[in-house]
Amino acid sequence: MNNEPDNNIVIAIRGVRKTYLKGDVSVTPFESIDLDIKSGELFTLMGPSGSGKSTLLNLIAGIDKPSSGRVIVSGDDITDWDEDRLAEWRTRSIGYIFQQFNLMPVLTAYENVEMPLLLLPLSRQQRQKQVDTALELVGLSDRADHYPRQLSGGQEQRVAIARAIVTDPTIILADEPTGNLDRESARTVMDLLVELNQRFHKTVCLVSHDPAVAERGSRVLHLDKGTIVEHEAAAQGATT
């Protein structure tokens, strides 16, 4: 693997080591990981609990920092950026989808989706246009005024996806996005992620324990005992 990423590589992990404390115990999920992710790719990351899957997503998002090594995203080495610079970059470049949805219960679907846009220099009209577009894409225009408690789990996750894409980010990170959903809702969410990848050319990095979900990507990576093993996935058109 070359030291520097080529122009088609949107995420490059170089010699990354991560150590953190869990109580009084030092945990090192990976010692030295190298990984290239191509622009426009949909890849899935699998592995046992505690293997560092979510940690790897957080490193890509700049939410966490490596103990050593480099994280390069869209040609920028974000490893040593300060929190203010990371926060501004993350708002524009990264959409994050969580297993627990992480919606604000006191806000409507519209207001939840609008939240990232409040950090950008946009007019009210510009924000409304982008929120309306995102909600339409996930099929929830008619639920804009509903609160999370008035939505099903699948609808909540679709609101979370709308929130993740409303700033038109380059990269979408999804941490167990179907983990709390029934099979039909999981299929709908995966269909949306595949559409974002294929129709809008978003790079999608997805963590899942579900082999049926993982096979929707173009590449499946297994992270275990500090090592990444790659497997070819089935075609993205397959159903969960």
Per residue, the 3-state secondary structure of 15-46, as one string, reads: EEEEEEEECCEEEEEEEEEEEEEECCCEEEEE
**15 occurs within a structural domain:** no
**108 occurs within a structural domain:** yes
**237 occurs within a structural domain:** no
Task: Give the model's pLDDT for residue 30.
Answer: 87
Task: Give the model's pLDDT for residue 41.
Answer: 95
Q: Do the Cβ atoms of 160 and 98 come closer than 8 Å?
A: yes
Q: Do the Cβ atoms of 44 and 213 come closer than 8 Å?
A: yes
Task: Give the model's pLDDT for residue 230.
Answer: 79
Say whether 145 sits in a helix, a strand or coil. coil
Task: Give the model's pLDDT for residue 27.
Answer: 86
Bridge partners, 73 (sequence order): 11, 76
**51 occurs within a structural domain:** yes
Task: Give the model's pLDDT for residue 218.
Answer: 87
**143 occurs within a structural domain:** yes
The pLDDT tens digits of the residues spanning 55-102 come to 999 999 999 999 999 999 999 999 999 999 999 999 999 999 998 999
Phi-psi region of 220 (alpha: psi -120 to 50; beta: other; left: phi over 0): beta
Tokens of 176: 């167990």
Q: Do the Cβ atoms of 32 and 15 come closer than 8 Å?
A: yes
Element (H, E) at 229: strand 227-232
Task: Give the model's pLDDT for residue 3.
Answer: 53
**107 occurs within a structural domain:** yes
Q: Residue 88: name the closest of 129, 60, 116, 56 by CA.
A: 116
Task: Give the model's pLDDT for residue 144.
Answer: 98
130: domain CATH number is 3.40.50.300
Task: Give the model's pLDDT for residue 42.
Answer: 95
**145 occurs within a structural domain:** yes
Task: Give the model's pLDDT for residue 237.
Answer: 46
Bridge partners, 77 (sequence order): 72
pTM for this prediction: 0.89
Q: In what order do the strands lie in the sheet with 219-224?
A: 94-97, 171-175, 203-207, 42-46, 219-224, 227-232
CA dist., res. 160 & res. 156, Å (int): 6
CA dist., res. 107 & res. 105, Å (int): 6
Q: Residues in the chain with pLDDT < 70?
A: 1-7, 231-240
Domain span including residue 134:
38-67+80-232
Task: Give the model's pLDDT for residue 6.
Answer: 58
**7 occurs within a structural domain:** no
Bridge partners, 76 (sequence order): 73
How many structural domains comprise the chain?
1
